[in-house]
A and B are shown apart, each in its own frame.
Chain A
Amino acid sequence: MTDIAITINGTAWEGTVEPRLSLADLIRGELTLTGTHLGCEHGVCGACNVEVDGVPMRSCLMPAAAADGCAITTIEGQYGEMAERLRAAFTTHHALQCGFCTSGMMATALDILRRGLGRDEATIRRELAGNICRCTGYQGIVAAILHVAQETTP
């Protein structure tokens, strides 16, 4: 067992975890933040993406013990202006149907916007390649990111 201390959506959390527990299972099980989803559990689908110290990572590939000392933000903690704009744009552009991919998509989309890569469609599609959506055909997701990028950059 390993003692860890993390910040989850701005709140400090301390506990003891088995090393084999993934960050995803800590988030979903122990912390009951079930907005983070598990699709493939081997790094290919992106459903489990969360922010670790401000950048997206695969929570299924990371032992919770390795996140000791880190600040984690899940979909439940995504507020702030950019996230709010993105939520609204996801609604406007029908960027989700079943919602399974959405929390991971939001984590990636926010990162795309923060890195200033949301201004052209080809770049957005390239950067989204690590997030699989089985419903929307991606069109609405790309449109939502493009929309927020145009809204927020002069």
Chain B
Amino acid sequence: MKFPAFDYARPAGLDAALDLLAGEAAVLSGGQSLSPMMGFRVARPEKLVDISRLSALRGAALEPDGTLVIGAAVTHAMIEDGALPGPLGGFLARVAGGIAYRAIRNRGTIGGSLCQADPAADWPCVMSLLDAVLVLRRAGGERQVPVRAFLLGHLMTAIEPGELLTVIRIPPQPGARFGMAKSTRKLGEFAEGIAAACLTPGAARVTLGALEVPPATLAVDPALVTGPQPARLTSSPLYAAVDAALKAADATDPAGYRHHLAVLTGCRALIEAAQP
């Protein structure tokens, strides 16, 4: 598929990019979602502002209080290769390494993935689990939006015309251990079931993606996670608890295969988080 016609600009700095976006223009980051959508004529932007090389969006740092700050144009491959400092770096490197294929990870960015808001994608699920806060800038202004208020549904976010996601802020997660599970038909494809889990000494929570709604974060009794599990996970008290919590969240058809897959990947992510 060939792209439809568009105008292209690659401003040298952030302010110039924001000025261009204040007119009618759309953001081009890695293009690993936008390009196929343009090919299919699902998206037909008239003007694209390429932000993929803005150095202000390509860094990562750990603030003194432990907050991890990630630039929106940091690629999946940079994260996979260890660009994120601090205790979350290892887990997030593993998440990044599981996204699509290396050639796509070399261009696709964390900010692009969040703004694309594909319910089956990895970063929307993991950033929901971590209570990330997104910094949205526009010419002459800035606001911070929690990721759970940012993701509104299938390919829908709270971003407004003229706004650019510049930075993702992840609060410190002291003493936390993490797990991730996906179910895909083919390695590297978008998941049919995806879950990320966090276990702290007194609490366990799991975020389920690939639903018709934004990723759903559920609290689970940590005692169910740490004990030994039966060979058939579906007959475990843990499965029953996640199943009940997801039913209460009213996010799926409880009789459907997707519901079962969400619960199952949720259990697997939680169990992985509990591994020593």
Contact = CB atoms under 8 A, between A and B. Distances in A.
Mutual binders A and B:
yes
A64 B6 CA distance: 13
B101 A46 contact: yes
Given A22-B2, A56-B103, A41 B31 contact: no
Contacts of B101: 46, 129-131
Contacts of B10: 65-66, 68
Nearest to B77: A55
A42 B1 contact: yes
Contacts of A19: 3, 5-8, 48
B107 A63 contact: no
Contacts of A107: 103
Interface string B80-119: 0000000000000000000011111011000000000000
Interface stretch (B35-43, B136-144, B203-211): B35-43
Contacts of A42: 1, 35-36, 39-40
Contacts of B232: none
Contacts of A68: 10
B178 to A, nearest CB: 21
Interface in A1-59: 2, 18-22, 25, 41-43, 46, 49, 52, 55-58
Nearest to B35: A61
A62 interface: yes
A66 B73 CA distance: 14
Interface residues of B, number: 30
Nearest to B30: A61
A130 B104 CA distance: 9
Contact of A20 (B3, B32, B40, B188): B3
Contacts, number: 90
Interface SS of chain A: helix, strand, loop or mixed? mixed
Contacts of A127: 102
B5 A18 contact: yes
Contacts of B39: 41-42
B77 to A, nearest CB: 7
B2 A49 contact: no
A99 to B, nearest CB: 19
Contacts of B186: 129
B103 A41 contact: no
A103 interface: no
A72 B264 CA distance: 44
A87 to B, nearest CB: 20
Nearest to A125: B187
Nearest to B36: A42
16 contacts: A19-B3, A19-B5, A20-B2, A20-B4, A25-B2, A42-B39, A55-B106, A57-B106, A58-B32, A58-B103, A58-B104, A62-B31, A62-B107, A63-B3, A66-B50, A130-B103
Interface of A: 2, 18-22, 25, 41-43, 46, 49, 52, 55-58, 60-63, 65-66, 68, 107-108, 111, 126-127, 129-131
Closest 10 CB pairs of A and B: A130-B101, A19-B8, A61-B35, A42-B36, A129-B187, A20-B3, A56-B103, A129-B188, A65-B8, A55-B106
